[in-house]
Structure 1
């Protein structure tokens, strides 16, 4: 008996059904992974949920519970209702809920960041088996300080002011990034980080070189693990406009020097010769006046002769 080939519509339907199931599976996995992420801040108390809860008819004595990291380091372990193991790094910082096996950590440290695995085994009269095995990821954040913006003027002129703008923040985790705006327009910072290790607080600094032609507002934001802190600053253009003086040319200096020398010579000559000429003129005038007076006082000769003749 010959086999009939699958009709094209049926084949297409199967493909669409397969794709649909795959998409649903991915969405369900993504939702499950989203539920397995817990965020906490440094120093807080956080609870990591497990995958099983004891029914009210049973007790902790029938279960074995293991909380571990990286599948090798046991954080906390319970068997037959008693704590059988605890890592020294979590000493006096962890406890487990006896009903739903939630792992509580307080205070949270940056080193607590990472995946945690909860394994639950049920112990019956005959044997024991694994009820669930699930991983939850803890993201620890430490708040950064409020960004500090400083501006140093490097050069300025009447038209513009060149500034070096710095934005810095410290003491936060995880590794952050800096964003900002200049009059509501995005700018790109030159960023540098400082940290002792990948699980240590970070210090971050961003730098910009700006040519400011008018007063502008700049905003700096430090972003980390869904959190952000921002600061704004008004940058003012320098108003002290100093126009550089242009030195006079060589020809102007020479001409000015000659004029000054001639003026000084003229004053010197005038002071030296003008008084003499005035005095000599005065003397001549005085002599002529005296001579006229003398001539007027002389007795005329003809009158004298006439008188003498009459007396004879």
Structure 2
């Protein structure tokens, strides 16, 4: 009989081992049902029922008909309520840290010891509703260039959003570009603040642009949309240059020209005025004689004696006075 009972309990525990999925919202109350039927009508004074998480922290315990708080972990004290009719435990002030797996155990206390008769495993997920997205124009006047910059933000949500996107509408077009999400998670609450930015070119023919953004918290939840932002697009005209600026530019060009060119001209004139070296004069004279440029030159040489010098001078004089004279 004992073996059959043990096998029955094992089958019962295996059957009840499948985890039940539950979800709760941040700050609200989570529901942790035990699904204990007590078909054998066991007296509450003979039962030990308790809930604990996978870290073996006890949330709540009934021991032989009385609530026993000595084994309850401090993080759960004062946060639980028990409904004996449905064998359900309620956990108040849900935090992101409360997500995870829980087990409910029921034991029949006998003179021979504790006999497990029931177990329920459940998974608790925690959600936090994001605030309505808010869109802001951060163009700072760049719409005059046909470029618009906007940012979209939402706060205090969990888990990370599935996606964020923008909706851009003009008189003749509509598009929904998806944006990269920037995330910040609070170290205490573990909630997310998210934002996304977009820079886009406005079609030249557009007069107004209607921009909004959407945030999809999860793949299955509905999308949250921001209010629409209507932007008037102005025709861009290049700014004219004042005459005073043009005059300043002209003066700068003239000054630069003088500073650069004057030293160059002075240096060039100095090179022209430099005297010719004696060696250069000799070379020039030889070149002129070779090309017949000097026809009536007189050849001089240094005589070795005074007589020879006198002879040469007389000969030159005779040649000058009488063209028909014979040269010696």
TM-score by length of 1: 0.60
Shift of 1:209: 1.0
Q: Structure 2 residue aligned with 1:45, among 24, 29, 46?
A: 29
What SS does the corresponding residue of 1:236 show, helix, strand or coil?
A: strand
Q: 1:219 aligns with which of 191, 212, 226?
A: 212
Distance of 1:54 and 1:97 partners within structure 2? 15
Question: Which SS does the other structure have where 1:138 is aligned?
Answer: strand
* Distance apart, 1:243 and its partner CA: 4.3
**Distance (Å, rounded) in 2 between the aligned partners of 1:62 and 1:173:** 42
* Cα root mean square deviation, aligned: 2.9
Corresponding residue to 1:185 among 167, 175, 191: 175
1:49 & 1:67 partners in 2: Cα distance? 10
Equivalent residue in structure 2 for 1:168, among 153, 169, 191: 153
Distance 2:197 2:236 in 1: 26
Structure 2 residues without counterparts, runs of 5 or longer: 1-14, 247-328
Please state how far the C-alpha of 1:194 moved relative to its aligned partner.
Answer: 0.8
Distance in 1 separating the partners of 2:241 and 2:186: 55
197-206 or 236-245, which deviates more: 236-245
Equivalences for 1:273-284 in 2 at 5 Å? none
Q: Distance in 1 between matches of 2:214 and 2:121?
A: 33
- Give the Å deviation of 1:135: 1.6
Q: After TM superposition, where is structure 1 displaced by more than 4 Å over at least 4 residues in a row?
A: 243-248
Separation in structure 2 between the aligned mates of residue 88 and residue 156 of structure 1, nearest angstrom: 57
Higher helix proportion: 1
Q: Map residues 7-22 of structure 1 onto 2, 5 A cutoff.
A: none
CA contact (8 A) 1:60 1:98 kept: no
Match of 2:98 among 112, 121, 124: 112
Aligned residue pairs: how many? 215
1: CA distance between counterparts of 2:146 and 2:41? Answer: 77
Is the CA contact (8 Å cut-off) linking 1:47 and 1:102 kept in structure 2? yes
Deviates most, 56-65 or 74-83 = 56-65
How far residue 136 of structure 1 moved from its aligned partner, in angstroms, is 1.1
Tell me the secondary structure at the aligned position of residue 121 of structure 2.
strand
In 2: Cα distance, 1:61 partner to 1:52 partner: 16
Q: Is the 8 A contact 1:71 1:117 kept in 2?
A: no
The 8 Å contact of residues 113 and 138 in structure 1, kept in 2 or not, is answered as yes
Distance in 2, Cα, partners of 1:198 & 1:92: 20
Q: Partners in 2 of 1:211 and 1:56 — Cα distance?
A: 73
Residue 91 of structure 1: how far off its partner (Å): 1.4
Q: Secondary structure in 2 aligned to 1:175? A: coil
Distance 1:173 1:102 in 2: 26
The alignment status of 1:73 with 2:49, answered yes or no, reads no
CA distance in 2: counterparts of 1:244 and 1:50, whole angstroms: 75
In structure 2, the CA distance between the partners of 1:111 and 1:211, relative to structure 1 (3 Å rule), is same
The alpha-carbon deviation at position 141 of structure 1 amounts to 1.7
5+ residue gaps, structure 1:
1-28, 251-312
Cα 1:56–1:122 change in 2 (3 A) is closer
TM-score by length of 2: 0.57
Q: C-alpha displacement at 1:115, in angstroms?
A: 1.5
